[in-house]
Every structure is written in structure tokens, then in C-alpha cells.
A and B are shown apart, each in its own frame.
Chain A
Amino acid sequence: MNRRDQFTTLIAVLCAAVFIAVQLHGAANRVFRAAPAQTIVVATPDAAALIWQQERLKGRLLLLFDKYPHINGYAYRNNRKPPLNAHTFVEYAITHTIVRSIYYIVPEDEWHELYRRPELKLLRPAPGLAQGEYLFNLLGTPVIATTLRSLPHLGEKPLIYINATLFDRIAVMDALRSKQISSDCVVVYNGGVP
């Protein structure tokens, strides 16, 4: 092996090392609940973020059954993390590294309305989904709007947040079970204080 071939091999090995290192780094920074799976009913939406924070969850995928948008770019506009309230709880969870990606679930019959809501800022179709669109947000967090029927099989347990004033909690959980999607932490908001 001449010097050039040795150099080529070294580059290939280093590149593979970089890819493996970042992949492992990502996987190592997903924290799930150690305790058994739990469904928690909360009085206010922001309690969801508090629960996730208390459980020390990290790097998680969120299934959001609610009326989006939840990311208004507070951190972008104000040079700091947002305070926690009913309107910022998702952005709070993102900036505290609890949530890394979001599937925003749109009711089947409202899907086409998505294209008439400019505030959602559709970015591009999500590949592999019959109904799925990436949504732009100022934090760069991947947010995919999709319907429950188009939701793909997830390779991990997601966090689930259900606004029960908009979605039938039982129907949602049944549909997820049929897709073999389970969660270690389901938070249900039953209404009350907005």
C-alpha cells in the first residue's frame, strides 16, 4: 500500500468514525421514563412541559394532538428561552432539549384546510407519507403535519400530548395501538384553563 492509499484509508476510517460518533451521541441523548408507562391528565397545557421536565426526559419525539402553531419563535426574537405558559409549553420543551421533533396530528377532515392556513408555513412534503408536510418554524425543529392514518410506524416511544377538547382520547389511543405505537408518557389536557 503506497502513501496515497494509506491516506485514502485513513480518511475513510475517520469519516466512518465521525458518522458513528454523531449517531451514538444522538442515541445516547434520548432519555425515556424509567417507571412504567403513565397517562396523566393535566389542568393546563403547560403542566405537560413541567411533567416532562420533572421526569428528566430528553431528546424526544412528540405526537401533538392539538391545534398548531405552538412555536412562535420567542427564543429567536428575545435572545432567551421562553417562560412557561399555556401558549409556550411546546417551545419551552424544545428549548430545554426535551422535545427534538414533532408530529402534529391533523384531523382527517381538516387536512385540506392545512393548505389554507398561511400561518403554518408549509415547507415541503414529508417523504414517505401519504399526507405529510414539513412546517417551517424559527427554531428549525422538524415539525411534520400529518393525519393519524398517515402517521408512520415510529422506531421509538414518543411523548404524546392530547388536547381532549379537540381529539377523542380513547379513539386516538386505539388508533395508535393499532399502529403499534406506545408511549412512556401520555399527557391529556381535558380543557378548563386555556
Chain B
Amino acid sequence: MEQIRHAAVLVAVVAVLAFALRFYDCAYPPAPWLDEGGHVAASYSYWNDGQFGPDNWEHPPLRHILLQGFLQLFGDTPYGWRMRNIIFGSLAAGLATLCALQATGSRKAALMAGLLLATDPLHVVLSRYTWEEIYGGAFFLAAIVCYLKRTRTVYWQGASALFMGCALATKWYYVPAWFLLCALSLARNGTFKCRRDVLHVVCVWLLIPVSVYVLSYYPWFGRGYTLGEFVQFVVNAYYSLQGYQLQQYNPNLLFLTHASAREWFVAPIIVGQGTFVSADRGEFIIYMNSLPIWGLTLPAIAVMAVHAARKKSLALALPALVFCATYALYFIVKRPAFIYSAAPLLPFAFIAIAYVIARLSDKFGLKCYVAALALLVGWNLYLYPLVTAKKVPVAAYRSILERPEVKVH
């Protein structure tokens, strides 16, 4: 009971901090930012008529339904547009803490993983607008958290599949991890050997996500479509997504300079828009990888995977497996992969980093952990005003803003 209380406090602290960072001054800019205008219009269009425009029709439509709920609650205002991401982004930080705790059993790792996600500049900036990666990623994380529950597994597996369905009904990023969890469920305790057990796993991992996915198209079916046409539509969406090429995008799109997922964890990516409000001050909305932290991801994932293999611990291996399965997708698909698509990977990257640092601190003492935590979170907090349109002294960020790879429009 004491352990549950400690875990709850940890999760709550991280989620509240994440909420504060995401909510503060979120109504600025007061006009729709980048794709927001299209997302809001598409939400009305989908809710009223089952139409996808002016947003892309290839992506699944749960996003329109969710946004409509928030528009009804908060009105067609910046709060109505953005509260969905603020809430789900904050929940994601709490869930990352919980996931790290379940996977590693270490409160130190859990706190660090949660704080890294809560303060990560990319996650923060995406959480302050209408990006699908935030709530899709939160559903995905919730699916992993439920999957890792060890008691009353029948219902937790059901909840996990439900959240996975919600993630899949937001974007297709999560398909490899869905297959992975399905395969792991079949392998768990020799399930595949018993036909009845296989039937149960298939029902849970196939029927629940597919039902959620199909149900998210309910307004679209209201245009007269049938299930047969739905299958053809999904196949069309697949072909269309595979056909996306860089030259088809709006040439003014910020992200075009970095279109490969290979760069995400090894090279600096900094794109965005900014205005100089005076000679020495400016405000910027910047999408960037926090490379001093992100750069630790690949070695940390490798270390975690090796430790998991040595300990034969599926719980410890899961963040690394999910990371690898999801990241591999971006190497397989033919379409460009922009930096915002990295957001669903971040919780698992930070869990691995936090795990390695927590293990090192077991050897080198608590001071080492505290110093690392302060350094990494401090770096993220230093970047916070730069990425969230606060009026910042340009001199304080000159070393970043003047880097040759920075494309600030």
C-alpha cells in the first residue's frame, strides 16, 4: 500500500509539473498556429458531415472526434483547440513515470524518465498545439502501462488493447508495437499451445483495437459507406501515404530541411519560426531535439536491452522493444519522417536513459543521480522559453540560434 502511495505521489508530481509547463500562457498565439486552423475546421467537418477536409484523409479520424469534445467544452478558442494536447501531454508524462516504475522497479529511474518527458522541448511545444503525436502517444503509453500490470491480467490486457485501439485510430505509427504486444501475449506462458488461450488473445488484441478503429469512422459511415468500402478506403490510405514525397509538401513547411528519421537521435535538428520584438529580444516557436539528452538514447536502449536479456526480464525489455519496433517503422516506410514523429518514441527513450543513469548512481552514489537529473532537466528548462514563444534575450540563446543547421523563418 505504501508503495502504491509513493508511486501515486511521484506520478502526480510529474503530471502536475508537465501540466504547468504546457498550460502556462497556452492561449498565445491567439490565432491558429501552423496546422491548427485546418485541424479545427476538419473536426467540425468530420463531426457534422463525416468529411476529412481540410485535413489529410489518410490518417484515422479519432483526432477529429476528440478535438470536437474539447471544442464543445472550451469553445472555439485557443483553449478549445489546445486543451486536448495539454491534458494528454501532461498525462503522458505521468504515464511515462508509471511505465518506468513498472519496467525498472526503480523510483529514481521513474522520476527521471517522467521529468525528462515533462520538460522535453519537443514534447512541450507539440503539447501546446494540436499535434496528433501527443494524444496518440499518450494512448500508446497507457497501452504499455496496462500491458505491464501483473495482477488481474484479463482486464488489464483488455484495457491495454482498448488504448492501443485509440492510438491506432489516431495514427499508424503504433502498428509495429501492436503486432509486438500481440506476439508477446501469444508467447506469454506458452499461450500459443492452447487453442482456447489463442482465441482469447486474438479476441483481445485483434477485435478490440479493430473495433475502436472502425468505430472512429462512424461519422464517415454516415455518408453511406459499408464495411467493404471501408477496407478499400484503408488500402487506398496506405497506398497514398506510401506515395508521399518531399516535393509534394508545401515548400514553406518548416520541417522540410530534416526529413529523415536517421537524424533524430544523432544530429541536431532545430526548425521553427520566430520574430525579433526588439534589437535584442525575440520570441520563437521551435521544434527541436534536445540533443544532449536525445543523444544518449541509442546507447541507453542497447544497455537496457542487454540488461533485460541477462535478467530474462520482459518488463525491462519492453521499453527497448517498443522503441525499436516503432523506430524501425520509419526506416521501412518510403515517406518523409519529420521531427514531430519522434514524439511517441520519447517516453521509451527517456525510460532507457533514466534506467542507465539510475543504475550508474547505484554504483557512484546518489549525488551522481541528483547532478545528472539537475543537469538534464535544467537544460530542458533553459530551452523552455525559447521553444514556447516567450520573449527571450537573443544573446542567451545565440549559440543555438546561430548554428548553421538552425532554420528559423
Contacts and interface: CB of A to CB of B under 8 A. Distances in A.
B208 A11 contact: yes
A138 B50 contact: no
Interface stretch (B88-96, B172-180, B224-232): B224-232
Contacts of B230: 22
A27 B225 CA distance: 7
Given A22-B214, A101-B229, A4 B243 contact: no
B224 A29 contact: yes
Contact of A124 (B51, B222, B239): B239
Interface in A107-129: 123-124, 127
Contact of B41 (A19, A59, A79, A100): A79
B192 interface: no
B211 A15 contact: yes
B70 to A, nearest CB: 19
A21 B216 CA distance: 12
Interface residues of B, number: 45
Contacts of A124: 235-236, 239
A124 B233 CA distance: 12
B154 A29 contact: no
Contact of B240 (A14, A94, A136): A136
Interface stretch (A42-50, A70-78, A171-179, A186-194): A70-78
Interface of A: 3-5, 7-8, 11-12, 14-15, 18-19, 21-23, 25-27, 29-30, 58-60, 73, 75-80, 94-97, 100-101, 123-124, 127, 134, 136, 138-140, 142
Given A12-B207, A101-B225, A134-B232, 14 more contacts: A7-B155, A8-B200, A11-B204, A18-B214, A23-B227, A76-B53, A79-B38, A79-B41, A95-B49, A123-B239, A139-B53, A140-B57, A140-B236, A142-B229
9 contacts: A8-B203, A11-B203, A11-B208, A15-B208, A15-B210, A59-B223, A78-B54, A80-B41, A134-B236
Interface of B: 37-38, 41, 45, 49-54, 57-58, 154-155, 158, 196, 199-200, 203-204, 207-208, 210-211, 214-215, 217-218, 221-227, 229-230, 232-233, 235-237, 239-240, 243
